[in-house]
A and B are shown apart, each in its own frame.
Chain A
Amino acid sequence: MNKQVSHIGIAALVLLSALIVGTTYWQTWANAGLADRQDNEIRLVAQFSIKRGKIYASDGRTLLATNVSEKRAGRTLYFRRYPTGPIFSDVVGYSTQTRNRTGIELSYNDYLTGSNANLDSVVRSALDKLKGTTVTGNDLVLTIRPAAQALALRLLRGKCGAVVALDPSTGRVLVMATSPTYNANLIEDRFGVATRTSLPCGAPLLNRATVGKYPPGSTFKMVTAAAALDTGRFTPDSQFYDPGYCEEYGKQVRNAGNPEAPETFGHVNLSTGFEHSINSVFCNVGKALGAGTILDYAKRFGFYSLPPLELPESERAASGLYDHGRLFDPKHPDTQVDPGRLAFGQERLAVTPLQMAMVAAAIGNHGAEMRPQIVERIVAPGGKKIAHLQPDQLGQPIKRQTADELTRMMELVVTGGTGTAASIPGIKVAGKTGTAEVGRGNIYTAWFAAFAPADAPRVAIAVVLEHQLNGFGGTVSAPIAKQVMEALLR
């Protein structure tokens, strides 16, 4: 009988060993998968037991996100509050129980919860856990200037659109405002109220500055002109004759303004064509360069890729040609794309305000494009700095000389061309207007892109306004750009 006893003994031990194997499986291999499950309430409690790091504006004092603690079932839970209400919502985002997270709250979740791989944080979080004290996350200081941000939002009030301002030499994002916006404090309990807006364009949760895709209109002439000069095919003095239209595929493409009586400039050079935003001039430039070259330069500026900003991927969009809602990168651009219309910003182009600000900043920064960045520094709870912003050059889309020639041309736009509304006394401003038809009567998407001071810019800006009835870039967007730039240069 003893043989049989040892057999069933072994069988019993095998069964119990299987339990150890099973436990190991769930606690190691399957662990991450289980944690990601939407209905995992334990994970949710754990997240809310962490005292998330605070988020500050660039002055290090203006509090954008903080916590309120609440005792529930013997546990201290921390919930987010956003003291500035709607002013920073699109950048900071929110962190809630039911709607999860967006914005910096999502992309910097690891740092904010102290679960980043940084050695200091790892040790500290582990010690906190061992001691049973609350895990405290790292604080963030953003690059956004609170006063200018508030001003930009005020200027956008009642309109649909966005303002993005960058520091051209470092890539710091100084303003990122979008309208309509929402109050992040209401997301958890009053989502309906938070997402309601009286503006016809709707979608207040959308960060128009980074995902809003607009026809760029004449602001795209910055890219075309850059290509024209950089390839050496044209100089600012290149001569054109403007009959008021441009001939393409045997049809007349008229200049902006009243189609029955288009403005006609006659003999002009490229610089004047840029200053007065003459479509026929750029149409001819486009035909000479070909769509492929223009798109190449657009790509050098960052079109066709997600701008490398610290916001979550889903809150950024690539600029470029869009066909039926999808990014369209033509294999044979010279046959698939109309070069004339492309050159003055029509065709199927759709551009984000951030991308347009990056183009202006690169031109202002002598052709060197800096990576846009939004997080100035990360500070551990003890006050120790974990990381700080380091300027990073993305590339050199155009030569220094090209950039400087283009700057002169952009200055003319503000001193005597379409963008005079943006001029600031005592400071040289370089800019470009854009007024894109949206295909319905006199309703336009009004753009203005600029940088100042022109010789050594400290700010580059892009302003876009949707659905402007008879509103042109030079009349509605340029004044907003002016005021925000003034606030930033002060």
Chain B
Amino acid sequence: MSTASLTYAAFFFALYLAAHLATRYAVPFADPYLLPIAGLLTAIGLTEIYRLNPTDAFRQGIWIVVAVALFAATLFLLRHDYRRLETYKYLFGLSAIALLLLPILPLLGLTVNGARLWVHIGSLRFQPGELAKIMLIVFLAGYMREKREVLAQGRLKDWGPLLVIWFLAMLVLLETRDLGGGLLYFGIFLAMLYVATARIAYVAVGLGLFLVGAVGVWKVTPHVQDRVTIWLHPWTTNKVYCPISGRLDLRQDCQSYQLVKSLYSIGYGGYGGTGLGKGTVANLNGKQIIPDLNTDFIYSALAQELGLIGAAALLLVYMIFVLRGMRIALLAEDGFSKLAAAGLTFGFALQTFIIVGGILRLIPLTGITLPFVSYGGSSVVANFLLLAGLLLVSNRANRDMLR
């Protein structure tokens, strides 16, 4: 044990204590499971990031401080009545679109791995999409709560604003080539629509439209075709054209390099894993094998070091979070709270599925962060705000029940 790791542990403990005290003070009736789970996941993530790259771990630590501060601030500000947020639903919807649009702006935007998702101010980089997701959920919860009866009847007039904001969001995602984000928002939208209207037909139509749209996008976008090819055939026995180098290469040495190396990493973990910090992340020449290991691919590093037992335990922790989140949605009294809690929780689960499923080749791989665990400031901040939202809803629901 080095002093550095002890310092991290002490610091992290202090931070968690602060978050706990803030929660106890601001939302005393809130669900007692969620904050410890978030703490556990953040700690696992920070440990793995520290093991991979201590400099990144320091930055992540700072982002966690910022996130916890914003988390506490949110709880304090909204502790009496968060439901007034509903009044500003259109503001939230439009802000979400605006945030999503930021990366397209010429000076601010930044393209990483073929997707234009980043905004940079000086050396500070963040992904506004993460925050937009939460704002969009607040908008959807507010709008659907108000119009749920008429939405269920299917009058086009009431669908207007929903579809406009919706269409804009999808357009922006298409423009920024954020496929994972697109899938995530669409999933959240359908889930919340189903909760609001109880019409399974909407989900069916939505999924149908999604499939049609997906095929359409696949036909016209080389980027998407590439992703699907990688997903279906990551290994080739003969050399094929490699768009990265422009030469002929085996696909596993070209586009599907990261996916394939990540599968090797997971496979190497076996049942028990290599032990934290003892995994192999560099090749014989000491070069890190997977470049994006601590962001998109952190799950494959964890799966190698913790093994099947540890990886399954990690996923079970995510499941507990989802169970508690859905419980909050069930207990909530009013429609807005229900929709918001269900939307936030479903979004949390779906995001986990999209990235880990992509790594496991269940679905095409798209870059997105693993909630609380991946390295990335905007992700940590957004997830702590999501947590704040769930705690606020649960505080109100439990307090009303006790009364």
- A residues sitting closer than 8 Å to B (CB atoms) are 1-9, 11-13, 15-20, 22-28, 30-31, 34-35, 37, 39-46, 48, 72-73, 75, 77, 97, 132
Contacts and interface: CB of A to CB of B under 8 A. Distances in A.
B196 interface: yes
A132 B276 CA distance: 11
15 contacts: A1-B335, A4-B196, A5-B195, A9-B323, A9-B326, A18-B362, A23-B312, A23-B356, A26-B263, A27-B269, A27-B307, A39-B252, A41-B261, A45-B280, A132-B275
Given A28-B271, A35-B267, A44-B284, A19 B335 contact: no
A18 B323 CA distance: 16
Interface of B: 191, 194-196, 198, 235, 250, 252-253, 260-261, 263-271, 275, 278, 280, 282-287, 289, 303-304, 307-308, 311-312, 315-316, 318-319, 322-323, 326, 329-330, 335, 338-339, 342, 345-346, 349-350, 352-353, 356-357, 360-362
Nearest to A45: B280
B308 A27 contact: yes
Given A1-B338, A77-B284, A19 B315 contact: yes
B271 A12 contact: no
The 8 closest A-B CB pairs, nearest first, are: A73-B286, A9-B326, A22-B360, A12-B349, A34-B267, A41-B283, A15-B353, A4-B195
B354 to A, nearest CB: 9
Contacts of A77: 284
Contacts of B191: 8, 11
Contact of B353 (A19, A24, A31, A34): A19
Nearest to B260: A39
Contact of A2 (B261, B303, B330): B330
Contacts of B303: 23, 26-27
Nearest to A15: B353
A42 B312 contact: no
A41 B330 CA distance: 48
Nearest to B275: A132
Given A18-B362, A20-B315, 13 more contacts: A3-B198, A13-B349, A15-B350, A19-B315, A19-B356, A22-B357, A24-B308, A27-B307, A28-B271, A37-B235, A40-B264, A45-B280, A45-B282
B284 A45 contact: yes
A18 B265 contact: no
Contacts of B330: 2, 5-6
Contacts of A23: 266, 303, 308, 311-312, 315, 356, 360
A22 B275 CA distance: 21
Given A8-B346, A19-B356, A23-B303, A46 B268 contact: yes
Contacts of A39: 250, 252-253, 260
Contacts of B250: 39
B289 A8 contact: no
A44 B265 CA distance: 12
A34 B335 CA distance: 49
Contacts of B284: 41, 44-45, 48, 72, 77, 97
A8 B342 contact: yes
A73 B53 CA distance: 13
B322 A12 contact: yes
| Residue among A19, A20, A40, A43 with max Cβ neighbours from chain B (10 Å) | A19
